[in-house]
Amino acid sequence: MPVRRTRTGPPGGHRARSGAVARAPPDGLTRLVRMPRDEHGHLTAGRISPQRPVPKDVERPEYVGRVEPHEHGLGDTYTPDEVELIRTAGRIASQAIDAVGAAIRPGVTTDELDRIGHEFVVSHGAYPSTLGYRGYPKSLCSSVNEVICHGIPDDTVLQDGDIVNIDITAYKDGMHGDTNRTFVVGTAAPAVQDLVDRTRTAMERGIKAVAPGRQVNVIGRAIESYAARFGYGVVRDYTGHGVGRAFHSGLIIPHHDAPQYDTVIEQGMVFTIEPMLTLGGIEADIWADDWTVSTRDKSWTAQFEQTLVVTERGAELLTVS
């Protein structure tokens, strides 16, 4: 789950501007418009179902039931034993996305995907970290088409040619493991399929740039230089972050070339890399729900995320099924 680099709280609460450019879906993509979408096929807020229960014996993060989490100052480096705990949580999150991905098809709602992810996480003795985090009402984020991140599952019906990012974080034994993937629903237009594939590659290039002694800005430099080859926008306001003891530790991992982020990478550090690339601009609007972030120009966007630990020579992924 990306963190907004300019705030410590959840996304701010202004509604997406009514004057946003009404762009049609990418070339080669036709659709039957269903609510909750507007007359242009752009997403609108849908109906959100009641919060799903979590068994009483599942350990809760400290922020559940609180307005603000106490998550800064917990550090970003971990012992080998602690890394294994993060790996366990991360594996559950990744496997939950596997289960959700198997159900993605035209006609399914994002709320149904949330049910699948929720039930998988809690059945493995873990807590879905987004549930109750700063008031977030669901167990995963489902970001469709022009939604950059933090989309709330609701009665939105997925259609052939859509793309949807599924972001799940699992909390177990005091540690969070955070990961996400973008899925194609049915068959996508070539430009959309390319965006999805290249966003995954951009994340992989960022991971390859990790090494002890380098500054975190090398990650964003690697990602942005690759994305620029295709003219993609690289979202700047939402970044990777430290994760483990805290859901978001305060460490910022930029996905663009940003020399001001000069934290030196150390062996044993744990953080996420999760670039968001767009087919258009990078300016964003935040919906009235205070969470959903969409591109202002309605261009489509994809994202991939892994949690990793810094090793002696590079990085090792901790969110693998």
Kindly write down the DSSP assignment for every residue of 112-138, as one continuous string.
HHHHHHHHHHHHTT-EETTTTGGG--S
Tokens of 110: 């994002």
Contact 278, 315 (CB under 8 A): no
Going across the sheet that includes 270-273, the strands are 270-273, 306-310, 315-317
Residue whose C-alpha is closest to residue 33's, from 156, 143, 154: 156
E strands of the chain, at which residues? Answer: 3-4, 127-128, 141-144, 147-149, 163-172, 175-184, 233-234, 238-241, 252-253, 270-273, 276-278, 284-286, 293-295, 301-303, 306-310, 315-317
- Residue 170 has φ and ψ, to the nearest 5°, of -115, 140
Contact 179, 203 (CB under 8 A): no
Q: How far apart are CA 6 and CA 201, in angstroms?
A: 26
Letter for the amino acid at 190?
P
pTM comes to 0.90
Letter for the amino acid at 228?
A
Percent composition of the chain: helix, strand, coil (DSSP 3-state, to 5):
20, 25, 55
Q: How far apart are CA 69 and CA 134, in angstroms?
A: 7
pLDDT in tens, the chain (321 residues): 888 764 433 333 323 222 233 334 444 433 333 447 787 888 888 999 999 999 999 999 999 999 999 887 889 999 999 999 999 999 999 999 999 999 999 999 999 999 999 999 999 999 999 999 999 999 999 999 999 999 999 999 999 999 999 999 999 999 999 999 999 999 999 999 999 999 999 999 999 999 999 999 999 999 999 999 999 999 999 999 999 999 999 999 999 999 999 999 999 999 999 999 999 999 999 999 999 999 999 999 999 999 999 999 999 999 999
